[in-house]
Structure 1
Amino acid sequence: MPHTPHPPAPRSRTRGRRRLRAAALLASAVSVCLVAASAPPTPLGVGDRLFPHLGNPGYDVAGVRTFFPSPTVRQANTDAAGGPSTKPIDARTTADLDRVNLDFAHGKVDSVEVDGEPAGFATAGEDLVITPEDALDEGEWTRITVRHTSDPVYPEDREGGWVRTADGLAMANQADVAHLVFPCNDHPSDKASFTFRVTAPDGLTAVANGLPAGVDRTGGTTTWTYRTAHPMATELAQVSIGRSTVLHRTGPHGLPVRDVVPTEHRAALEPWLAKTPGQIAWMEEKVGRYPFEMYGLLMADATTGFELETQTLSLFERELFTEPGYPKWYVESIMVHELAHQWFGNSVGPATWSDLWLNEGHATWYEALYAQETADKPLEARMKAAYGASDGWRAKGGPPAAPKPPTSGSKTGIFRANVYDGAALVLYALRQEIGRPAFERLERAWVTRHRDGTATTADFVRIASETAGRDLGDFFQGWLYGEKTPPMPGHPDWKPTPAPARAGGA
């Protein structure tokens, strides 16, 4: 998807009714409008194979401003993120709309306005269904303002959204839980620019994606404003509130590097943070210039079970860096994994969640390549082990580009080995097939051509074929969609590892 254009300021006006295209259709058109207006609100979606009700059709979000006022943050816990919050959304309609659906599943909506006029609203499934006073025409710019609460206390079966830290909050919205925090079009295909304005009691620090755009201290609270310079998917949004120290250093080409750490652990974390500029330079040697306005690490004093590539400010568990059981090379390779996502998954986003292998496969590839080049951990040995396990991964989770839907209500269930090492194995096979020089040209072309947009698996196959100078469709069909792992080019001796026999029973 091309960069979403910056919207003009919405007009303050009373909306005119849609012009009918023929006077002879007047009576039937009015009847249709009346039926549509009286129909019950229903949840919609953009038809994603893995998350069919995620996202909403009929509009393209251009800008989002999210205000989180006066959160109540206690020293060791958080009971509420405050409220009501305000969420203005600027969007351009891509169809005539009697109603506008937003994803929103947690919190209370107080009021909704469309271009400054009160609008009706109702919930349907995990959608907030908005009925403006007058219908919206295709091609219009519109501003939707939702005033709502943002509650970090979730049901036990929901994963992500606000994450409690030892002294505040952070966000982890992947894959589909940004709409637990704020109303949005919660699908990676619809990127937008974001402005975050967060008010916190004095003594706490609020940090979000993008560049700082102002600090206002009034009456015992501080309001922090941040703006992104590049479009971002909702799943990559990040807001941190806590007793934090913000550290600044400089990366390649003068790139600002900003890290956010629990103040009490600053000294222990500093040696790790100092590695980031060198890691950025390493990635730039592989795929080209860092794609965003800033980078840094958010060290959360929390147990999440994962790290997350939130745009310009990757989320890490503090214990990854302070637990002595993790080898140094392993920690550094995980840092590079999340850094690589800034190119693969953030700047070039997945058009659908079935394209996830492009995110995680590339991040795993550069994680493994970094370990080989800096810690003498052979890439080929890792890929041979992955080849042995690949058939089992495909049986359990599906082929890399056709992952099975999440099971047992786990929205993070699509993050399986088949889209990590299984997808990195596809990239290794591709490099074996077309040669290292062509592969490296492909990687650079991919992140350049689709920067600030979204792309599909078909797009990757197309540009790979262009780079190789021949049709790679059959090659990718087997490696991306086959139930069994194809033979590895250049390694006819590599064999799948048989699954262990089951002991007794059916």
Structure 2
Amino acid sequence: MDLLGSTSPARRSTPRVSPSRRRASAAAALVLCLGLATTAAGAAPGEQPDRAQPAERAQPSEQGRPVLGDDGAGDPYFPLAGNGGIDVDHYSLDLTYTPPEAAPAPLEGHLEGVATIRLTTTEKLRRFNLDLRGPEVSQVRIDGKRTRFAQVENELQVWARGLLHQGEEVEVEVFYEATTTRPTDIEGALYGWVTTRDGAMVVSEPDGSATWFPVSDHPTDKATYDFEITVPDGLVAVANGVLEDESSEDGWTTWTWDAPDPMAAYLATATVGDFELTTTTGPDGIPIIDAIDPALPPANSADLTRTPEMLEFFAERYGPYPFVSYGAIVDDDSVGYALETQTRSFFSVRAREGTVAHELAHQWMGNHVSPGRWADIWLNEGWASYSTWMWNEHDGDATAQESFEQVMAIPADNGFWSVVVADPGSLCLFCGAIYDRGAATLHALRGEIGDDAFFELAQQWVATYGGGTATTADFEALAEEVSGQDLTTFFDVWVHQPVKPTEW
């Protein structure tokens, strides 16, 4: 992510149905299952009605294994993000969205969704959770059969109809709807499904995906995705991956996207608006799909023409581009940041060259290799910021050494140096030090171990952990392995101490 306007960056499938049939099915589900968000779906005719159960923490079974999945993945910064007992393999999101009416009508949209989730249990379970915050659920099915559920705080609790054994593969369908507004994260920044006059801006770092679909919302539970997004004719729905189909019926257009590469939930998007789609071909035949708001002047997206050069530049340093496509969304909604949404980076109002490089580098560093804990976010932002330093040098601007010296010119008593880069706290995920001190750490490491070992480390990092997650400890260990050096003091000084490094 980039915070724009600051001196440093901060911040497979189920059978398809036609839009009309899908809306009819969703409507039928609502008729069958009306009720409060905290109550369970009703029973089928002749069955005993299901009842929502009170919230419970995981308890041991007779065999010593939990039968209630934990309500989080164990991240201390976001205790309710992610879920225990399950590993999601694939999300198929079938969404129908009605944007707000013109002003002065309220800035509220309406979202109807059916999420079909393929998951594998990682322990014996009677109940598991999904993250969901805002939408109201009308019905849940497991392998086609309706089952009990409840909504509590950040969680959708789902009861199996019987005991699920470890390693069991199940398909979960969740029918839901929401009046969409403009949710904010713990720092007050807009994120998740952000309603706009012409559609929606969907950018979810760190835990905003739960505002628009039921999800295991932590980077350690990556999955593949496909999307069917139905919007009024004239609007464009842009998601991750490649565009598979566009079809219109009865005043609605359905946009079908396929994202077959493992993806952390916060990187998923389903942005809707007045966009012009263009597709070009990048190095090695990579499709570059851009969605540009035509209300913006051409200069605001002109720097995207450098994308093919940047793809080649970073591939030489980090290895082959890891996904099926790339591209950008440039929207006219002034929210003040950019985000590295996987395969389709998002830019608010303008895609500036340095930010274009930053978000593209994230596709390797942050998207392909994601943080094992949110405390490790410097490995996302430090690498992306250092990538921009290297691109600037390549492009004839300031050298990486000059950028490093600018950081080191910050006085030792400046609060910038008080951030512990490897453990900044949940309210400092996007502090300047995460970006610039993170980048300076990498430049100092390059000087410590030499260019050959440094770029070998970069490629090994991507090759070893790509498609998954990794931590600061993993990075330190790999750096020592590749360089053959003891780097304990180096990393202690640079990422574990809240003081300005002076020697290492």
TM-score by length of 1: 0.82
Residues 80 and 375 of structure 1: CA distance in aligned 2, closer, same or farther (over 3 Å): same
Q: Is the 8 A contact 2:416 2:433 kept in 1?
A: no
Letter paired with 1:257: I
1:418 aligned to 2:418? no
Residues 416 and 390 of structure 1: CA distance in aligned 2, closer, same or farther (over 3 Å): farther
Q: Is the 8 A contact 1:90 1:144 kept in 2?
A: yes
Residues 270 and 180 of structure 1: CA distance in aligned 2, closer, same or farther (over 3 Å): closer
Residues 213 and 482 of structure 1: CA distance in aligned 2, closer, same or farther (over 3 Å): same
Q: Is the 8 A contact 2:283 2:312 kept in 1?
A: yes
Residue in 1 aligned with 2:470? 455
Letter paired with 1:250: T
Q: Is the 8 A contact 1:208 1:238 kept in 2?
A: yes
Query: How big is the shift at 1:72?
Result: 3.4
Alignment of 1:39-438 (within 5 A): 44-74=71-101, 79-154=107-182, 159-165=190-196, 167-265=198-296, 267-269=298-300, 271-318=302-349, 320-321=350-351, 331-389=352-410, 398-406=419-427, 413-438=428-453
The 3-state SS of whatever aligns with 1:142 is strand
Counterparts of 1:484 and 1:269 in 2: how far apart (Å)?
A: 39
Query: How big is the shift at 1:43?
Result: 7.3
Mean Cα deviation higher: 180-189 or 143-152 = 143-152
Query: How big is the shift at 1:118?
Result: 1.2
Q: Is the 8 A contact 1:43 1:127 kept in 2?
A: no
Residues 43 and 464 of structure 1: CA distance in aligned 2, closer, same or farther (over 3 Å): closer
Residues 66 and 8 of structure 1: CA distance in aligned 2, closer, same or farther (over 3 Å): closer
The 3-state SS of whatever aligns with 2:178 is coil
Higher strand share: 2
Deviations 1:447-500 (A, max 9, x none): 1222211111121112111110123233212222112233356xxxxxxxxxxx
Q: Is the 8 A contact 1:347 1:453 kept in 2?
A: yes
Residues 31 and 265 of structure 1: CA distance in aligned 2, closer, same or farther (over 3 Å): closer
Query: How big is the shift at 1:387?
Result: 2.4
Query: How big is the shift at 1:247?
Result: 0.9
1:468 aligned to 2:495? no
Residues 281 and 78 of structure 1: CA distance in aligned 2, closer, same or farther (over 3 Å): farther
The 3-state SS of whatever aligns with 1:284 is helix
Query: How big is the shift at 1:121?
Result: 1.3
Q: Is the 8 A contact 2:91 2:118 kept in 1?
A: yes
Q: Is the 8 A contact 1:355 1:457 kept in 2?
A: yes
Residues 105 and 43 of structure 1: CA distance in aligned 2, closer, same or farther (over 3 Å): farther
State the identity %.
34
Q: Is the 8 A contact 1:394 1:483 kept in 2?
A: no
Counterparts of 2:131 and 2:64 in 1: how far apart (Å)?
A: 26
* Residues matched between the structures, number: 445
Letter paired with 1:343: W
Query: How big is the shift at 1:215?
Result: 2.1
Counterparts of 2:501 and 2:165 in 1: how far apart (Å)?
A: 50
Deviations 1:56-97 (A, max 9, x none): 111100000111114235467885543431011111000111
Query: How big is the shift at 1:270?
Result: 5.3
Q: Is the 8 A contact 1:393 1:422 kept in 2?
A: no
Counterparts of 2:81 and 2:412 in 1: how far apart (Å)?
A: 30
Query: How big is the shift at 1:420?
Result: 0.4
Counterparts of 2:450 and 2:63 in 1: how far apart (Å)?
A: 63
Residues 29 and 377 of structure 1: CA distance in aligned 2, closer, same or farther (over 3 Å): closer
Residues 247 and 455 of structure 1: CA distance in aligned 2, closer, same or farther (over 3 Å): same
Counterparts of 2:182 and 2:301 in 1: how far apart (Å)?
A: 33
1:445 aligned to 2:466? no
The root-mean-square deviation of aligned C-alpha atoms, in Å, is 2.7
Letter paired with 2:487: L
Gaps of 5+ in 2: 1-11, 16-59
Counterparts of 1:73 and 1:305 in 2: how far apart (Å)?
A: 22
Q: Is the 8 A contact 2:193 2:203 kept in 1?
A: yes
Q: Is the 8 A contact 1:56 1:102 kept in 2?
A: yes
Query: How big is the shift at 1:383?
Result: 1.3
Query: How big is the shift at 1:261?
Result: 0.6
The 3-state SS of whatever aligns with 2:437 is helix
